[in-house]
Structure 1
Amino acid sequence: MEHPWWRLLWNDRREAVFDIALVVGLHVFVWTLGRLYPGVPGIERYDWIGGLWLAHLLNTALGIGLLARRRYPMALLWPVAVISVAQALLIAFGPGPFLQINLPSDPWAPGLTPLVVYAAVVYQRRARWLMWVLIGFVTLVCLRPWTFPDTDTVLGGALWSIVPVLLGLSALGLRDRAERAEREQELRAEQARADERARLAVEMHDVVTHRINLMVLQAGALAVAGEDPAVRRAAEELRASGSQALTELRDLVGVLRRSETEPQDHRADPPASLPDLDELVAQSEAVGMSVRFTVDGRPGPVTSAVARTAYRVVQEGLTNAHKHAPGAHVDVRVLHSDDRVRVLVRNTATAGPREPNDSGGGVGLLGLQQRVELVGGTFRAEPVDGGGFEVEAILPGYVPTEESADA
């Protein structure tokens, strides 16, 4: 999505409205002063440049340039420094000033110098040493210490240059404190989430794992003691499914209980590989789905939690394509790199009647997204051009779990 043009200068509309109102207000204020006090003492001093047109042009340009003070403060500070130094040199060694000066104690700097200096102190983040050098030149020209003890000149120059610097430094201090308070609030919220995750992990471990263990033991006993071969097979399948669910649940509980701030020891985590996705693809093809499966890169070892999450991504993508896009062609891609695995499932538009009574409402994708984010990955599921749909997950190669921590 393209950003609006005003994003080049401002972060939000409030800043844009404020700066535009500031510039318009300044121009109206200057125009009003010019109408109320049209006379300029010593106007003949500016005859060498044909009048005050250059002063008006420079002040107008700087006024419009204030619209960019938040993003490009140095683009305003440079002209102010050059104009101030040029004014001082022309007064001392040349034909005279080119900026309007009403009183001898008026600063030899543009009228918008305080705003420009303040903006530079607050918004300039890089090359601040150069900013301070330029501000130093502007301050020297404004103060004119060689006129001491002319206190009017020194006070006027301080008001034009030093006071904006002090106000800018105060604003920086307030902003830093606000950012620090925001970071502390985020840390407290993250700690609260970690505590809640640990509490949920304990409950899952104490309740769910115990129940599944009992189910697996009972299914195993039935497989041994049952007399009917069909019953024994069903019990063995139930025991195997329960064992697999127990392993996955322990992985998820381990991720929940594992603190993100603990050191991660890759050597302690037992390496694994991705489950057999060919069998999953073959099952989809057996029900009439057109699937193309490709693997790019050299498969490397990953942790068991990541391997099972990748399997679930492919499984959910194929299930959604079967339910919501019958007759569509599906592409399943797995891309391996040194430290991550990218899983992509994309289907074209539907080419047949959909199954009635679709259920789920996207809950499967929501749960899948939570599972991917739980292991530190990123998840994306969205429509694509042509009426198709795409599910993508980028998973890290290593995710610490309780088992890896105890290994």
Structure 2
Amino acid sequence: MAFDVVVVCTAGTFVGASLLGPPPVAELDYSGVAALGEVALVLALLWRRQAPLAVAWAVMAGTAAVAIVEVTAPGTLVRAIVGADPALWVPAAAPFAAYASLAFGRNRVAWVPVVVLTVIATQPWDPDGARITSAVLLVAGPALVGAHTAARRRLLQGRIKEALADERARLAAEMHDVVTHRVSLMVLQAGTMSLCSEDETTRANAEQLRALGCHALEELRDLLGVLRGPEVPDFGGTETQRAPVPRLEPLIVASRSIGTSVELIEEGDPSLAAPVIARTAYRIVEEALTNVHKHAPGARVRAQVRYGAQTVRLTVHNSPPPDGEHATLAATGSGTGLPALRRRVELVGGSLQAGSAPDGGFSVDATLPSHVPTREGPERG
């Protein structure tokens, strides 16, 4: 924005010199309509990034209008002061608009207003070397610079994407080689302990540890699948060894058991969501309920999940805590739960918003894709 303001000020300086400067700085005498048009086109440059084509079309239309009027009634809008040719007139905003149209335009249509503006400035029906030079310097030249800038930006973005993809693949490989290997050993040892131990309590604890390890491996599988796409390596486990996708009901029951009023509304078919999406939704609800327990004890919670063929929409809203309630556990959090959760949601191609609600409570709103390509294919992810 600061750079755009500088651009507008620069173009405004040229306009001011043309309108108010003494001869020979001011070579043309502008009518009131032409002067207002020049100022309006300069101010339009403030939107040259957000709407480059609209600005370019506006400059082209203004130039065409002046050209048509001067051809039919010379001197009506622009009149020569020191012998200059009014036909050489090009708006001060033209170079910046031509550059922006090619530098920030998103399609090939961006060339159209630039080409038309060049033709109007050149006036090929009445060839003149000065007009051709003016058109090249003030329209075609800036447009070519803009096209070069856009090409460099696309090349840089492509290299950034390649670098990010390489880094994600490297992280996935390290996680697979180190983390999953050690967690797998923990699961195997826990399984061995549950089979060999003679103490019933030890066997139960070992089995619980093994189940938690299986869940951790499944989440690592999902994460690696998203990081590396179709090339994620398999862990060697069979389908029967994989931990089941967690359901939301146990989370709700656990919160109700400690006195939190929670309402769960599920719409649609949960099987439409891939396992990685189901686990992400589970983590969203889990984090939202954890925050309620810490920061708004006694508040009422409403969790709503809509399963669709293309998207999964999830909203968790809690009311303000009752008067007199204090969040004694609020200071125990690290403050990284929601940011980490947002990164996880963005990793699978979704979006997450969290903030205060109009009623004084707090809302977490997430939109997730129903499927994310992984090695297991569309059935699993």
**Pairing of 1:207-356 with structure 2 (within 5 A):** 207-258=178-229, 275-351=246-322, 352-356=325-329
Contact (CA 8 Å) 2:94, 2:138: kept in 1 or not? no
- CA displacement, residues 299-356 of structure 1 (integer Å, 9 cap, x when unaligned): 4422211111111111111111111110111110101222111121121222212124
Distance 2:12 2:271 in 1: 60
- Among 107, 115, 137, which residue is 2:92 paired with? 115
Contact (CA 8 Å) 1:76, 1:116: kept in 2 or not? yes
User: Are the structure 2 counterparts of residues 248 and 21 from structure 1 closer, same or farther at C-alpha, using a change threshold of 3 Å?
Assistant: closer
Name the aligned partner's letter for residue 100 of structure 1.
Answer: R
Name the aligned partner's letter for residue 74 of structure 1.
Answer: W
Once the two structures are TM-superposed, the CA of residue 406 in structure 1 deviates from its matched residue by: 12
Q: Which residue of 2 aligns with 1:191?
A: 162
Q: SS where residue 393 of structure 1 aligns?
A: strand
* TM-score normalised by structure 1 residue count: 0.74
From the CA coordinates, give the structure whose radius of gyration is larger. 1
Name the aligned partner's letter for residue 14 of structure 1.
Answer: F
Question: Which segments of 5 or more consecutive residues in structure 1 lack a partner in the other structure?
Answer: 1-11, 41-51, 146-153, 261-271
Name the aligned partner's letter for residue 19 of structure 1.
Answer: V
Q: SS where residue 387 of structure 1 aligns?
A: coil
Distance 1:139 1:37 in 2: 21
Q: SS where residue 188 of structure 1 aligns?
A: helix
Contact (CA 8 Å) 1:219, 1:236: kept in 2 or not? yes
Distance 1:297 1:370 in 2: 26
Name the aligned partner's letter for residue 371 of structure 1.
Answer: R
User: Are the structure 2 counterparts of residues 173 and 101 from structure 1 closer, same or farther at C-alpha, using a change threshold of 3 Å?
Assistant: closer
Q: SS where residue 81 of structure 1 aligns?
A: helix
Question: Which segments of 5 or more consecutive residues in structure 2 lack a partner in the other structure?
Answer: 49-53, 232-242
Name the aligned partner's letter for residue 27 of structure 1.
Answer: G
Contact (CA 8 Å) 1:379, 1:392: kept in 2 or not? yes
Q: Which residue of 1 aligns with 2:69?
A: 86
- For the pair 1:398 / 2:371, whether they are aligned, the reply is yes
User: Are the structure 2 counterparts of residues 330 and 344 from structure 1 closer, same or farther at C-alpha, using a change threshold of 3 Å?
Assistant: same
- CA displacement, residues 259-309 of structure 1 (integer Å, 9 cap, x when unaligned): 69xxxxxxxxxxx99642122111111110011111234444222111111
Contact (CA 8 Å) 2:122, 2:135: kept in 1 or not? no
- Between 1:168-177 and 1:329-338, the stretch displaced more is 168-177
Q: Which residue of 1 aligns with 2:4?
A: 15
- Among 11, 28, 31, which residue is 1:56 paired with? 31
Distance 1:112 1:34 in 2: 16
Q: SS where residue 403 of structure 1 aligns?
A: coil
Distance 2:113 2:151 in 1: 27
Q: Which residue of 2 aligns with 1:267?
A: none
User: Are the structure 2 counterparts of residues 112 and 66 from structure 1 closer, same or farther at C-alpha, using a change threshold of 3 Å?
Assistant: farther
Q: Which residue of 1 aligns with 2:347?
A: 374
User: Are the structure 2 counterparts of residues 72 and 169 from structure 1 closer, same or farther at C-alpha, using a change threshold of 3 Å?
Assistant: same
- CA displacement, residues 21-49 of structure 1 (integer Å, 9 cap, x when unaligned): 533553345433269999x9xxxxxxxxx
User: Are the structure 2 counterparts of residues 346 and 32 from structure 1 closer, same or farther at C-alpha, using a change threshold of 3 Å?
Assistant: same
Contact (CA 8 Å) 1:106, 1:156: kept in 2 or not? no
User: Are the structure 2 counterparts of residues 36 and 26 from structure 1 closer, same or farther at C-alpha, using a change threshold of 3 Å?
Assistant: closer
Contact (CA 8 Å) 2:317, 2:361: kept in 1 or not? yes
Once the two structures are TM-superposed, the CA of residue 139 in structure 1 deviates from its matched residue by: 3.8
* TM-score normalised by structure 2 residue count: 0.79
Contact (CA 8 Å) 2:95, 2:143: kept in 1 or not? no
Q: Which residue of 1 aligns with 2:79?
A: 100
Distance 2:270 2:359 in 1: 32
User: Are the structure 2 counterparts of residues 166 and 202 from structure 1 closer, same or farther at C-alpha, using a change threshold of 3 Å?
Assistant: same
Q: Which residue of 1 aligns with 2:238?
A: none
Q: SS where residue 341 of structure 1 aligns?
A: strand
Name the aligned partner's letter for residue 34 of structure 2.
Answer: N
Once the two structures are TM-superposed, the CA of residue 180 in structure 1 deviates from its matched residue by: 2.2
Contact (CA 8 Å) 1:118, 1:165: kept in 2 or not? no
